[in-house]
């Protein structure tokens, strides 16, 4: 079904890029495989499935320059089987997935220690060094300093702006780690295919309600039951996802083929100028591009220079002192996620 869907979307009038959201259908009780005990899975991960279904309702009948793919997957608890198959099929079909979000355990705001809930924070886990890179690419990254600038990091920076707290009622807390310690979710399957992918999850998990048999022990209720789901919080999570998908799907595509040049044109000598080039975007309503900059120690882009509808620019700014990126802008002012430059050969 996934292959047929992609083939249909890649017709002559279809979008050229995709944005994916998933929640997983399966649940479990103890960490030992148990296929007979009751495993309601209200938070892990009916909450994520609920977000996917709500976005299916919200976006029904709407078309965007980028296609939004809403999927529920199986076999997450057994080894990411459903999402691995989906990501492999999309890669085999040549799908340009420019962003993917796994919603896994997104329905509870109550902390494990009984402290007051914080229903206005949502964690977003993103990988550090990109998963699908070669040793040569890692060597270049070490040389020029791109450890904090993979495509998933650029996606996370975009989400923080698109799903700002004043719009969604949620502070998105970005964590530069692919997932929680020694754990993982369906976004890893997409990272393995080289796609930018991240995981949304609640701020403080209650392990009494995850991977636990449904039972009462010494007056404490264990089990992943619906009574522990905060539906107001879950609604805000859906708002974050809506913004995180609608914004890039409506904006131009992320610029591709972005390069930074270390020598002056026509020479073999170095230069203190910054020379950037990139591939022209296919967007019909493209207005132009912006060069974004930040200090190497800054968490996010802090300034932008409008360079017009061009595919190369030379700036009188040393490339050795700051980080650069390129983003596309359409005629209504929508801005794409940032494309980070590779070193030109």
pLDDT score for 271: 77
Per-residue pLDDT at 266: 64
Q: In what order do the strands lie in the sheet with 97-103?
A: 67-73, 18-24, 97-103, 197-201, 121-126, 171-176
List where CATH 3.40.630.10 sits in the chain.
2-250
Which long-range CB contacts under 8 A does 277-280 form with residues at least 24 apart? 277/311, 277/312, 277/313, 277/344, 278/311, 278/312, 278/326, 278/339, 278/341, 279/255, 279/311, 280/311
| Per-residue model confidence as pLDDT tens digits over 18-59 | 999 999 999 988 766 676 777 899 999 999 999 999 999 999
Closest CA to 229 of 40, 72, 53: 40
What pLDDT is recorded for position 3?
A: 43
66-86 pLDDT, tens digit per residue, is 999 999 999 999 899 999 999
Continuous H helices in the chain: 2-9, 47-58, 76-79, 81-92, 135-144, 151-162, 165-168, 187-191, 231-250
Residue 200 confidence class, pLDDT cut points 50, 70, 90: very high
pLDDT level of residue 264 (50, 70, 90 thresholds): confident
Write out the residue limits of the CATH 2.60.40.10 domain(s) in the chain: 259-343
Structure confidence at residue 291 as a pLDDT band (50, 70, 90)? very high
- What pLDDT digit, counting tens, does each position of 83-104 carry? 999 999 999 999 999 999 999 9
Reported confidence tier of residue 211, pLDDT bands at 50, 70, 90: confident
The rounded mean pLDDT for the chain is: 90
Are 343 and 141 within 8 A, CB to CB? no
% pLDDT > 70, the chain:
90
**Superfamily for 2-250?**
Zn peptidases (3.40.630.10)
CATH number of this structure's domain 259-343, picked from the four choices 3.30.70.360, 3.40.50.2300, 2.60.40.10, 3.30.930.10:
2.60.40.10
Closest Cα partner for 235 from 99, 69, 119, 70?
A: 119
pLDDT band at 226 (very low <50, low <70, confident <90, very high): very high
Mean pLDDT score, 178-193: 95
Q: Where does the pLDDT of residue 268 fall: very low under 50, low under 70, confident under 90, or very high at 90 and above? A: low
In whole angstroms, give the CA distance from residue 250 to residue 99: 13
Residue 1 clears pLDDT 70, i.e. is over it? no
pLDDT of residue 140: 86
Neighbouring residues of 19: CB distance < 8 A, sequence distance ≥ 6 = 66, 67, 68, 69, 97, 98, 99, 100, 245, 248, 249
| Confidence (pTM) | 0.92
Query: Which has the higher per-residue pLDDT, 205 or 281?
Result: 281
First to last CA, the chain: 41
Please state which of the ranges 8-22, 103-117, 178-192, 287-301 shows the lowest mean pLDDT.
8-22
pLDDT given at position 269: 63
What is the C-alpha to C-alpha distance for residues 249 and 64, in angstroms, rounded to an integer? 6
321-333: per-residue pLDDT in tens? 999 999 999 999 9
Least confident window among 132-141, 268-277, 293-302, 313-322: 268-277
pLDDT at 8: 45
């Amino acid at each position: 079904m996934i292959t047929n869907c992609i083939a249909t979307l890649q017709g002559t009038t279809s979008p050229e890029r995709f944005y994916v959201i998933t929640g997983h259908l399966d649940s479990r009780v103890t960490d030992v495989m148990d296929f007979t005990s009751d495993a309601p899975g209200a938070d892990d991960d009916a909450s994520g499935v609920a977000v996917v279904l709500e976005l299916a309702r919200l976006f029904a009948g709407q078309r965007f320059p980028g296609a939004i793919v809403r999927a529920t997957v199986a076999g997450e608890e057994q080894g990411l089987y459903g999402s691995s198959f989906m990501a492999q099929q999309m890669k085999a079909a040549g799908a340009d997935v420019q962003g993917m979000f796994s919603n896994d355990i997104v329905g509870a705001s109550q902390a494990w220690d009984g402290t007051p809930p914080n229903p206005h924070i949502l964690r977003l886990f993103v990988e550090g060094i990109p998963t699908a890179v070669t040793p040569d690419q890692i060597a270049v990254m070490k040389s020029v300093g791109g450890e904090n600038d993979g495509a998933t990091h650029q996606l996370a920076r975009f989400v923080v702006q698109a799903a700002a707290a004043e719009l969604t009622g949620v502070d998105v807390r970005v964590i530069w780690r692919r997932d929680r310690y020694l754990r993982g979710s369906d976004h890893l399957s997409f990272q393995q295919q080289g796609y930018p992918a991240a995981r949304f999850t609640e701020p403080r998990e209650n392990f009494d309600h995850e991977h636990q048999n449904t039972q009462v022990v010494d007056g404490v209720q264990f089990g992943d039951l619906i009574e522990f789901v905060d539906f107001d919080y879950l609604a805000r999570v859906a708002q974050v996802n809506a913004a995180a998908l609608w914004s890039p799907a409506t904006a131009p595509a992320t610029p591709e083929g972005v390069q930074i040049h270390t020598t002056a044109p026509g020479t073999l000598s170095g230069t203190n100028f910054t020379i950037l080039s990139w591939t022209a975007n296919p967007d019909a309503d493209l207005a132009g591009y912006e060069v974004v900059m930040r200090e190497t120690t800054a968490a996010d882009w802090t300034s932008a220079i409008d360079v017009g509808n061009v595919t190369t620019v030379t700036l009188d700014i040393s490339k050795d002192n700051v980080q650069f990126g390129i983003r596309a802008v359409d005629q209504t002012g929508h801005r794409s996620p940032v494309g980070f430059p590779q070193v030109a050969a």
